[in-house]
Structure 1
Amino acid sequence: MQPVRRVMSNVRKFSTISLRDMLVALGPTVVLVIAACVAAWLLVDPAPPRQVVLVTGQENSAYEEFGRQYAKLLAKNGIQVTLQRSLGSQENLQRLAEGRADIGFVQSGSTNEAQAERRGLVSLGSLFTEPVWLFLRDPVKVDNLTQLRGLTINVGPEGTGVPNLFRQILSVNGVEPGELRLGALENTPATVELLAGRIDGLVFSSAPEAPLIQMLLQTPGIKLFDFTQAEAYTRRLPFLTHVVLPRGIVDLGRDIPSKDYQLIAPTATLVAREGLHPALIDLFVQAATEIHGGAGWFQQQGQFPTPRYTEIPVAHEAARFYRDGPPLLQRYMRFWLANLFERMWVVIVPLLALLIPLSKVVPPLYVWRIRSRVYRWYGQLRAVEQALEAAQADKRPEALPDLMRRLDDIERRVNQTSIPLAFADALYELRSHINFVRQRVRAALA
């Protein structure tokens, strides 16, 4: 074991560079770079939060179903999405404005650009169309909305977007809301009332994926109102679009529905508070592309999501995504790693400007540290020479042996000094100078 240790000691002693001195020379630079990175991490652009609140809609609504899909996708990137039920678009807007939610589903026509800007809200794009579904009991004969006068129609509570939307639809038909009885039940109890025959009809505005829509389209004794003037509605109310429910789309075997139905549809929009972290906006828009980008009953492949069909200003990050696609780094890296590099790039240029002059300081500092091991012994040699010169002639015989012992001690300690091979010449010069001083002491002793 002893020979092995001796060999390892010699390897360290006669190495090309001194790792310890290199680390000491680099220390200030490394500390400065780490401090700059930590400052950038904390101050330049804070990391995105790991929790976000998404406000959806009523129980069994399409908003609630899509909310679950968003939560599942974002969980893959370590983002916990807390889902909050609500009555609908109006309540969602209120919660967003008050800061009780970070992001939510809102129906087009629920607000306008000026109100959205005052509330500090931005759009992440339109997601899908939400047709106006007017379901009636079969005995009720209605071919035109003017024939709804005197009937009991449930439009849902005021927190949803449907009451305001349906009042606008009645208005363009010249029907005042007071000319019929408008109910305010939520979707599920309203459906129960319709099936029990206690109301004449109900109005939904939802994607066809909603379970209640699927059920009512296949329920005997319940019929869907056909908006035969759908194109005219889109001219009078620009936030509406004309869509067609194709014959047999619900069940081809049973031919449900038995004909094409003309429908009018606002669009569902993903709306966020203006201060939502840009990285989260990118994540939600990517999730929206995966969830809503396929073909559906009323849309073609790739038609949604889109920055169109929304009266709320589109967030800059969302607009960039629709124009250029996902951020470059996120195409090849995990979300958190890509986000780290995207946040740190703002400090790279200042760091480079700092490292260029520091790189010129480190080599001279390293050389100085190595040579200082040799130079400090010259002070000891100079002290021996001064003691020799100061010794009086009659006392020199007593002082000279002590000076020889000091020189031997200096030489012994110098021989134990570890120094890289590149600087060995300085060490050998020191040893020759020790011998030179020793010769002077010997001459004085003789």
Structure 2
Amino acid sequence: MPKILKFTQFSLRDFLVAAGPAALAIVVTCLLAYWLVDPSPPSQVTLSTGQENSAYEAFGKKYAAALARFNVHVALKPSQGSQENLARLQDPESGVDIAFVQSGSSELEAAEQKGLVSLGSLFTEPVWLFMRDTRNITQLSQLRGMKINVGPEGSGVPALFRKLLSVNGVEPKQLKLSSLENTPATVELLAGRIDGLVFSSAPDAPLIQMLLQTPGIKLFDFALAEAYTRRFPFLSHVVLPRGIVDLGRDLPRKDYHLIAPTATLVARADLHPAVVDLFVQAATDIHGGAGWFHRKGDFPTASYTEIPVSRAAQRFYKEGPPLLRRYLPFWLANFFERMWVVVVALGALILPLSRIIPPLYVWKVRSRVYRWYGQLRAVEQAIEDVPHDLQADVYPAQLKRLNDIEDRVNRISIPLSFADELYGLRSHINFVRRRVTGLMRAEP
């Protein structure tokens, strides 16, 4: 049986020798492409949210729950607000990958220099100015001398409120501005120790809902809202409809005009595209419904942001979720979507290699036969023009050499499809042997 196994239809050893370098090239190419396209998204990202009881905090929890379904852990990192979130994104040491940022907080050139991209606008967050009901204030210019809380500097409200005061001819030093966080500021307002407080938040925030229904607290009506939006393009004019808070109690009792920046999701430009897709998909589920200030389907959107929108987010808004993502699990769909580069690279390699390897395999098998022809030529050269006094030694030595060559040739393992070349070699050995023996007989 071992002798029979020497003669097979196919030589695996020769094939491995012939195809080995090509297989190694393919493996290296696949590993390089895998590393370049980075198909595996991170299992954890950090989202910078906002203050306690803020809309940013509430929505951050919803995003964490949405991405947990895809085994991506979202670590929530509280902050003072938009400005601190933006600063964290610009600081690589902060560990923050994505954050809620209010429109108008940055400029296009600055965002591009810092490597930031927007994932789209999520919702409008109106400027809410709550005051005690004893104050009859209709213009921001009437706030001079009052105690107004604008929130900590890490939020976007202080800078925005100063811009609003400036277009009304009011200097910040003409007011008594405080920087308490939202929750303690609300306590101060209810206790009468401050005259008003400013929020910029979605109406979902618990403190907004509470203050809209608290007796003795009224909301400032931005009657000149349209004029503000013309002066500040990142603002939009929204209306809080009468009765939207509580239809049974008719709260509020009239329409209120408000000015509103938009909340956007901003991320580092190197955030994995698959994670970007997950956040945009979650944003569609969380913010896609109708709200107090928008119709169903208005948000999320690539509009209302001064920061350039990432390509992955733009593609999602135009085409929806990728086709494979609709039918396959997230990780598998992402792998196929990202590894098309490997498929192209393999095609570019396999096509030419499919024409090189078969001839290389044939040459490798035949070389095991052909290399013995060199030995035969050496024998023939050794018996050419041998002096008469050396013939008695040379001819027997070359005949012994031929016998050794034949013995080694008989042990060659070769596929049956190449057996004719092996038998041809053996016949040529016999031919040289006959020539040697003929010369030995002719020796005087």
| TM-score between both structures, scaled by the size of structure 1 | 0.80
Say yes or no: does 1:161 pair with 2:156. yes
User: How much has 1:28 moved relative to structure 2?
Assistant: 0.7
| 2:172 match | 177
Counterpart mapping for 1:264-275 below 5 A: 264-275=259-270
Match of 1:67 among 60, 67, 76: 60
Does structure 1 retain, via aligned residues, the 8 Å contact 2:39–2:334? no
| 2:15 match | 22
Does structure 1 retain, via aligned residues, the 8 Å contact 2:406–2:426? no
| 2:228 match | 233
Match of 1:308 among 298, 303, 307: 303
CA RMSD of aligned residues (A): 3.9
2:285 maps to a residue whose letter is: E
Does structure 2 retain, via aligned residues, the 8 Å contact 1:41–1:47? no
Does structure 1 retain, via aligned residues, the 8 Å contact 2:39–2:335? no
Which 10-residue stretch deviates more, 41-50 or 305-314?
41-50
Which 10-residue stretch deviates more, 98-107 or 394-403?
394-403
**Structure 1, residues 278-334: CA drift from partner, whole Å, max 9, x if none?**
454444333322322222222222211112112233334433433344456555555
Counterpart mapping for 1:32-431 below 5 A: 32-42=25-35, 49-77=42-70, 79-99=72-92, 100=94, 101-327=96-322, 330=325, 336-337=331-332, 340=335, 345-346=340-341, 352-378=347-373, 406=404, 409-410=407-408, 414=410, 417-431=412-426
Does structure 1 retain, via aligned residues, the 8 Å contact 2:235–2:259? yes
Query: Structure 1 residues 165 and 385 mapped into 2: Cα distance closer, same or farther (>3 Å)?
Result: closer
1: distance between equivalents of 2:332 and 2:285?
21
1:130 maps to a residue whose letter is: E
User: How much has 1:26 moved relative to structure 2?
Assistant: 0.8
State the SS of the aligned residue for 1:163.
helix
Query: Structure 1 residues 400 and 19 mapped into 2: Cα distance closer, same or farther (>3 Å)?
Result: closer
State the SS of the aligned residue for 2:148.
strand
User: How much has 1:347 moved relative to structure 2?
Assistant: 6.3
Which 10-residue stretch deviates more, 346-355 or 185-194?
346-355
Does structure 1 retain, via aligned residues, the 8 Å contact 2:165–2:172? yes
Does structure 2 retain, via aligned residues, the 8 Å contact 1:55–1:105? yes
| 1:3 match | none
User: How much has 1:207 moved relative to structure 2?
Assistant: 1.0
2:241 maps to a residue whose letter is: P
State the SS of the aligned residue for 1:298.
coil
Query: Structure 1 residues 371 and 115 mapped into 2: Cα distance closer, same or farther (>3 Å)?
Result: closer
Query: Structure 1 residues 383 and 114 mapped into 2: Cα distance closer, same or farther (>3 Å)?
Result: closer
Does structure 2 retain, via aligned residues, the 8 Å contact 1:403–1:441? no
State the SS of the aligned residue for 1:208.
coil
Question: How many residue pairs align between the two structures?
Answer: 436
2: distance between equivalents of 1:359 and 1:15?
23
Which 10-residue stretch deviates more, 226-235 or 194-203?
226-235
State the SS of the aligned residue for 1:263.
strand
User: How much has 1:83 moved relative to structure 2?
Assistant: 2.6
1:62 maps to a residue whose letter is: A
User: How much has 1:234 moved relative to structure 2?
Assistant: 2.7
| TM-score between both structures, scaled by the size of structure 2 | 0.80
Which 10-residue stretch deviates more, 249-258 or 160-169?
249-258
User: How much has 1:61 moved relative to structure 2?
Assistant: 1.2
Query: Structure 1 residues 371 and 195 mapped into 2: Cα distance closer, same or farther (>3 Å)?
Result: same
**Structure 1, residues 37-60: CA drift from partner, whole Å, max 9, x if none?**
333344577975554432221122
State the SS of the aligned residue for 2:414.
coil
2:77 maps to a residue whose letter is: Q
Which 10-residue stretch deviates more, 173-182 or 154-163?
173-182
2:55 maps to a residue whose letter is: A
Does structure 2 retain, via aligned residues, the 8 Å contact 1:151–1:181? yes
User: How much has 1:345 moved relative to structure 2?
Assistant: 4.7
Query: Structure 1 residues 365 and 147 mapped into 2: Cα distance closer, same or farther (>3 Å)?
Result: same
2:286 maps to a residue whose letter is: I
2:212 maps to a residue whose letter is: L
User: How much has 1:256 moved relative to structure 2?
Assistant: 4.1
User: How much has 1:267 moved relative to structure 2?
Assistant: 0.6
Unaligned runs of 5+ in 1: 1-5
Unaligned runs of 5+ in 2: none
Which 10-residue stretch deviates more, 62-71 or 273-282?
273-282
1: distance between equivalents of 2:405 and 2:199?
102
1:97 maps to a residue whose letter is: Q
1: distance between equivalents of 2:378 and 2:296?
90
State the SS of the aligned residue for 2:122.
strand
2: distance between equivalents of 1:9 and 1:273?
67
User: How much has 1:122 moved relative to structure 2?
Assistant: 3.2
1:303 maps to a residue whose letter is: D
State the SS of the aligned residue for 2:106.
coil
Does structure 1 retain, via aligned residues, the 8 Å contact 2:239–2:255? yes
Identity %: 67
2: distance between equivalents of 1:309 and 1:397?
99
Query: Structure 1 residues 379 and 404 mapped into 2: Cα distance closer, same or farther (>3 Å)?
Result: closer
**Structure 1, residues 345-388: CA drift from partner, whole Å, max 9, x if none?**
55665665554443332112101222233334556667788899
